Amino acid sequence: MNILVTGASKGIGNVIAKELYNIGNVFVTGRNEQALAACNAKGYCVCDLSENTEILAEFIQKNNIDVLINNAGEYIYGAIEALKADDIRKIYQVNLISPAYLISKALPYMKNKKWGRIINIGSISGVMGEAYASVYSSSKAGLIGLTKALALETAQYNITVNTINPGWVDTDLGANSINSSEFTTQEIIDTIPQKRFVSPDEIAKLCKYLISNDARGITGQSVNVCAGLSVGI
């Protein structure tokens, strides 16, 4: 089993990579070479998904990736009319276009093998919508649509495709997202039914399960791991 985790330099991706070390050959990618080297993975590829996906596409084909975890993501907070064209392009490129392209490069090997796992890391904002994060929310909603369609296309090849939608997660990105918003950490916590942030290892362990044979019947699903945020307050 050859596993690729994108955005593995830190945060959720880094924890996912470490959780999966004992079930296959883990490869990682991200923008920070020093952080990737510190992962002690089977191999790594330095790549900025907002600029150049070709180098990673070649890496996928060279290493016969049969488990692809699209975790890399970008977030921006602000009214859409205040965003620059480059900001909008970057969000869609990293969050939706690059995952779709990387999947297209991984699928031929998976289909030939008649086995594969694709896990897209979405966001609860793609399920519910988030005010002043419309571009981010729509990019993550796109992942859910991509997941459903691809699950139908690949089911006959014993390939599963699923999306995990985290809520507020205890990572640097989560903290930075709060800092760029108009809310305090406590105000955010007050909106979450379980009154806590999700831990990255909760996402990682769910990835491990979805890769396993026990989860072979789960495909085309959008799983919310949000401490109850999607239910209401």
- The size of the chain, in residues, is 233
Residue with tokens 């979805």, as numbered in its chain = 210
Burial of 227 (0-12, 13-18, 19+ CB in 10 A): buried
Distance CA 96, CA 101 (A): 9
Distance CA 13, CA 47 (A): 14
- Alpha-carbon gap, residue 88 to 177, rounded angstroms: 17
Neighbour count for residue 214 (Cβ, 10 Å): 9
Tokens representing residue 140 in the block: 């993550």
Read off the DSSP letter of residue 226: S
C-alpha 117/C-alpha 2 separation (Å) is 10
Q: Output the six-digit token pair for 101.
A: 């392209």
| Distance, first Cα to last Cα, the chain | 41
Amino acid at 60: I
List 75, 136, 157, 209, catalytic entry: 136
Q: Is-catalytic flag, 136? A: yes
| Contact yes or no for 94/142 (Cβ under 8 A) | no
Active site residues: 136
